């Protein structure tokens, strides 16, 4: 009985901490991926951003799981990150305009098993 009471108290405390840490969240569905942009706060009140890429994957038995990749971006890096991101996105757009892909010619449709 005492164990359940302690467990519930710990879970409630964890939920409150997660709620306090999460300030704002935005999800973006992009094809087979979903990106999550989460603004969070440290205990000292500084804000930072986490960017998570989530993709549904299937194993050989047909069971699925979500593969996730996450980066943490801190306030002192925002300007440099934003500048770099804008630069490379502009470059990719420029390259794609000068070399348009044919339908069905996306990177995701390619297999890297037979590269000879």
Give the pLDDT score at 22.
84
**What CA–CA distance (Å, rounded) separates 99 from 61?**
39
Distance CA 50, CA 21 (A): 12
- The torsion angle over the Cα atoms of residues 77, 33, 37 and 64, rounded to 10 degrees, is -110
pTM: 0.64
Each domain of the chain, given as residue ranges in start order, spans 2-75
pLDDT mean by block of 10 residues, the chain; 116 residues: 50 53 92 94 92 92 91 96 96 91 60 46
Q: State which fold the 2-75 domain adopts.
A: Nuclear Transport Factor 2; Chain: A, (3.10.450)
Return the structure tokens found at 31.
């094809």
pLDDT at 2: 55
Q: What is the pLDDT of residue 103?
A: 63
């Amino acid at each position: 009985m005492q164990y359940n009471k302690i467990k519930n108290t710990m879970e409630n405390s964890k939920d409150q901490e997660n709620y306090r840490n999460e300030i704002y969240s935005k999800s973006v569905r992009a094809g087979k991926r979903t990106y999550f942009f989460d603004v969070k706060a440290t205990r000292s009140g500084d804000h930072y951003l986490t960017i998570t890429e989530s993709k549904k994957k299937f194993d050989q038995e047909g069971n699925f799981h979500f593969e996730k990749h996450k980066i943490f971006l801190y306030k002192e890096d925002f300007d440099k990150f934003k500048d770099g991101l804008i630069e490379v996105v502009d470059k990719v757009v420029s390259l794609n305009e000068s070399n348009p892909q044919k339908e069905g010619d996306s990177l995701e449709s390619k297999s890297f098993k037979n590269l000879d």
